[in-house]
A and B are shown apart, each in its own frame.
Chain A
């Protein structure tokens, strides 16, 4: 079975600082995608970044980057130069084989001005 674990229910970061959100996963498939979704208080689920398992290079989208450690089954999200608008619930998600998207329980990020 596919599982996603986010061990940090809540985190906080000072504005302009860097924060890393953790995610570990488990799958028996060799081909899979990993995602980070952001859900602000407005509740819209927004795709932040995605990583294809076959790619060794870590994905980057502006201030957002991932540290993908395939052997360790770890997929952490780094947010640089944190902004007030980054405050949200962040969900790590796994898509593998023919199974539906599996979400972690989420990490609530607060940004302190």
Chain B
């Protein structure tokens, strides 16, 4: 089973709203990732969690706040977003980070900021 689930599938929010994206995997993977993807572009890495600790933050604005409550869950808290933050947000997981491990992706959350 290589399933990563993400909720919600779609999200529309205003610039003053607070919302959260959720990602879950039950493959026993110890590394989880958030990516942002604009249309017709490759995914851009935002954050990496390894063993529930933040290991990489690719200079993401503070209006994006990741959280890893346990080894199976990864959240992305959103606050005061801008219209240019509208994108597909992908979650991925792998056995470990910093090694040659295959990443498996979830279906993504399509976010629209008005």
- CB nearest neighbor in A for B39: A43
Interface 9-residue window, one of A12-20, A56-64, A71-79, A101-109: A101-109
Interface residues on chain A, number (Cβ under 8 Å): 25
| Interface majority SS (helix, strand, loop, mixed), chain A | strand
Are A91 and B100 interface neighbours, CB within 8 A? Answer: no
Are A104 and B42 interface neighbours, CB within 8 A? Answer: yes
Chain B residues within 8 Å of A42, by CB: 107
Chain A residues within 8 Å of B100, by CB: 31-33, 52, 95-96
Contact with A along B94-114 (1 / 0, CB 8 A): 000010111111111010000
Contact with B along A88-102 (1 / 0, CB 8 A): 010100011010110
Evaluate whether A43 and B102 lie within 8 angstroms (CB atoms) in the complex, with A91-B42, A105-B41 already known.
Answer: no
Q: Distance (Å) between the CB of B56 and the closest chain A CB?
A: 7
Contact with B along A36-52 (1 / 0, CB 8 A): 01000011111100101
Chain A residues within 8 Å of B103, by CB: 95, 101
List 12 A–B pairs whose Cβ atoms lie within 8 Å, in order of A's numbering.
Answer: A33-B100, A37-B105, A43-B37, A43-B108, A44-B105, A47-B102, A50-B102, A89-B40, A95-B103, A101-B103, A103-B43, A105-B41
